[in-house]
Structure 1
Amino acid sequence: MALVTTKEMFAKAINSDYAIGAFNVNNMEIIQGIVEAAQIENAPLILQVSAGARKYAKPIYLLKLVEAAIEDTGVDVALHLDHGEDFDICKKCVDDGFTSVMVDGSKHPFEENIALTKQVVDYAHARGVVVEAELGKLAGVEDNIKVDARSATFTDPDEAAEFVERTGVDSLAIAIGTSHGAYKFKGEPYLDFERLKKIHALIPDTPLVLHGASSVLREFVDRCNEFGGEIPGAQGVPEDMIHEAVNYGICKVNVDTDLRLAMTAEIRRVLTEHPEEFDPRKYLGPGRDAITRMVQHKIRDMLNASGTK
């Protein structure tokens, strides 16, 4: 039971028909729910901390909660910084004990992205920490990351190959049509699988990462709306599309919105059905259980992803 890197996880996944779930955490109940699911399913696990989570819960609390979860369950966990926007935050997380960091230089021109990523790679690798980077931009909103649809750009396969060679990055987040948030598609869901195939063919040994990959499961959206929520038309990435993506190098699938929906739906239900309740344990506990059930579903789905290459 330990904090581990993603290196061994990805080495196994890249040549197999499955992906590793990477789940964003913000508080104790979310961490407990996710880790319990991984323990039940005996599955590899990545816990992610975003800039927003660091601001909300404070880094020291999140780190100690993750350490407690590992000690309590015996689950090996890769602790990952999600969307580190500069060298300083990546360095801070490496120094704090994170085993993986993502440097997100996608807002910069290509050469500046390379320079920033290489700086983080050099620092992290010297300390045994792995690095994820991003090339291309996803539309949508996640914490302080806001990209409108017009600014979103898909990843260029040739640039991806050059980027990996020049930076030495361990994994690469690519843009092929997913987006952050609960409203990923205005019409029919679409992912550019031909682009993904080209990227994977050029860098077959590089684990690829799919951000904005929550499926926005209908049962949780409906339950939120049933008990007072207002999220009509929410739409995520169909799970069969994630299965297809796994066939072409996707090793890590990021999930955040599904966690929020599952927990919020259950909290709404409890407070609606029991308006007299004001003990946070009575609604956060069921919310935690909903997280566990949802993560179990996502883990099973990703570990059983299959298709024909």
Structure 2
Amino acid sequence: MALVNSTEMFKKAYEGGYAVGAFNVNNMEIIQGIVSAAQEENAPLILQVSAGARKYASPIYLKKLVEAAIEETGLDIVLHLDHGEDFEICKACIDDGFSSVMIDGSKYPLDENIALTKRVVEYAHDRGVTVEAELGKLAGVEDDVKVSAKDATYTDPDEAVEFVERTGVDSLAIAIGTSHGAYKFKGDPKLDFARLETISAKLPNYPLVLHGASSVPQEFVELCNKYGAQIPGAQGVPEEMLRQAAHSGVCKINIDTDLRLALTASIRKTFTENPGEFDPRKYLGPGRDAIKKMVQHKIKNVLGCSGKR
């Protein structure tokens, strides 16, 4: 049981044709719900912290909560920075004891993204920390990530090869049609599997990452709708598409919006049925259970990593 980097997790995931869930965390109940699900499913686990969560909860609180989860469950857990926007935040998280970081230079031209990523990789690798980067731009809004649909661009396969070779980065988040936050689109969602297969063929045995993979199960959609937590017009990426991606070189799938909706719907349910409730344990406890149920669903039915720890 330890805080580990992602190297061995991704190697096993690639060889096994499944993906590891990277679940965003903001507080104790979310961490407890996620970790309880992973323990029960005997699944590999990445807990990731966005810049917004880092500001909200403080890095030291989040790290200590993760350490407590490791001690209580015996799980190996990757603690990952999600969407680090510059070298300084990546360095700070590495110095704070994170075992993995993401440097997101996707807003920059290719050479500038490469230079920034390489700088983070050199600092991280000297300290046993793995690095994720991003090439291509996903549309959508989530925490500090804001990209309009017109500015979204798919990942170029040849650029992906050049990027990995020049930076030495450990994993690469690619843009093939997913969207940050609750997925909004005109018509049916489409993932560019031909592009994914080309990138995977050009980068054999290399772990790819999907961001923006929101996909709320029907049971939770109905719960969200009933208690007013669903975002109007939002629709997730079909889960069968995510399962297909996990068989095509995607070793990590980020999951955040689904957890927020499950937690919020549960809390709204409590207050709707018990308007006078004021004990946080009475609404955060069921919220924690909703998180656990959502994560178990993802592990078993989407990621395919149940029993893979």
Which of the five TM-score ranges fits, normalised by the shorter chain?
Answer: over 0.9
What is the CA deviation profile of residues 59-98 of structure 1, one whole-angstrom value per residue up to 9, with x for unaligned ones?
Answer: 1111111111111111110000000000000001111111
Q: Matched residues in 2 for 1:58 and 1:184: separation?
A: 31
Runs of 4+ in structure 1 deviating by more than 4 angstroms, as ranges, are none
**TM-score relative to the length of structure 2:** 0.96
Whether the 8 Å CA contact 1:178–1:184 is kept in 2: the answer is no
Number of aligned residue pairs: give it: 305
Bigger mean CA deviation after superposition, 104-113 or 217-226: 217-226
- SS of 2:151's partner is coil
User: What is the aligned-residue RMSD (CA, Å)?
Assistant: 1.1
**TM-score relative to the length of structure 1:** 0.96
Corresponding residue for residue 194 of structure 2 = 194
CA gap 1:34/1:230 in 2 versus in 1, 3 angstroms: closer
Bigger mean CA deviation after superposition, 218-227 or 289-298: 218-227
Mind listing any 5+ residue stretches in structure 1 that lack a counterpart? Answer: none
- SS of 1:93's partner is helix
Alignment of 1:1-309 (within 5 A): 1-229=1-229, 231-304=231-304
- SS of 1:199's partner is helix
Bigger mean CA deviation after superposition, 89-98 or 296-305: 296-305
Mind listing any 5+ residue stretches in structure 2 that lack a counterpart? Answer: none
Q: Matched residues in 2 for 1:17 and 1:279: separation?
A: 44
- SS of 2:150's partner is coil
- SS of 2:158's partner is helix
What is the CA deviation profile of residues 33-52 of structure 1, one whole-angstrom value per residue up to 9, with x for unaligned ones?
Answer: 00000000011000000000
Per-residue deviation, 1:246: 1.5
Q: Matched residues in 2 for 1:75 and 1:117: separation?
A: 30
Letter in 2 for 1:263: L
Per-residue deviation, 1:230: 5.4
Q: Matched residues in 1 for 2:66 and 2:90: separation?
A: 18
Q: Matched residues in 1 for 2:183 and 2:9: separation?
A: 30
Q: Matched residues in 1 for 2:249 and 2:228: separation?
A: 40
Q: Matched residues in 1 for 2:166 and 2:205: separation?
A: 15
Bigger mean CA deviation after superposition, 108-117 or 231-240: 231-240
Whether the 8 Å CA contact 2:240–2:302 is kept in 1: the answer is no
Q: Matched residues in 2 for 1:68 and 1:94: separation?
A: 19
Whether the 8 Å CA contact 1:50–1:82 is kept in 2: the answer is yes
- SS of 2:180's partner is coil
Letter in 2 for 1:189: P
Letter in 2 for 1:203: L
Q: Matched residues in 2 for 1:71 and 1:65: separation?
A: 10
Q: Matched residues in 2 for 1:71 and 1:186: separation?
A: 46
What is the CA deviation profile of residues 251-308 of structure 1, one whole-angstrom value per residue up to 9, with x for unaligned ones?
Answer: 0000000100111111111110111211111000000000001101101124538xxx
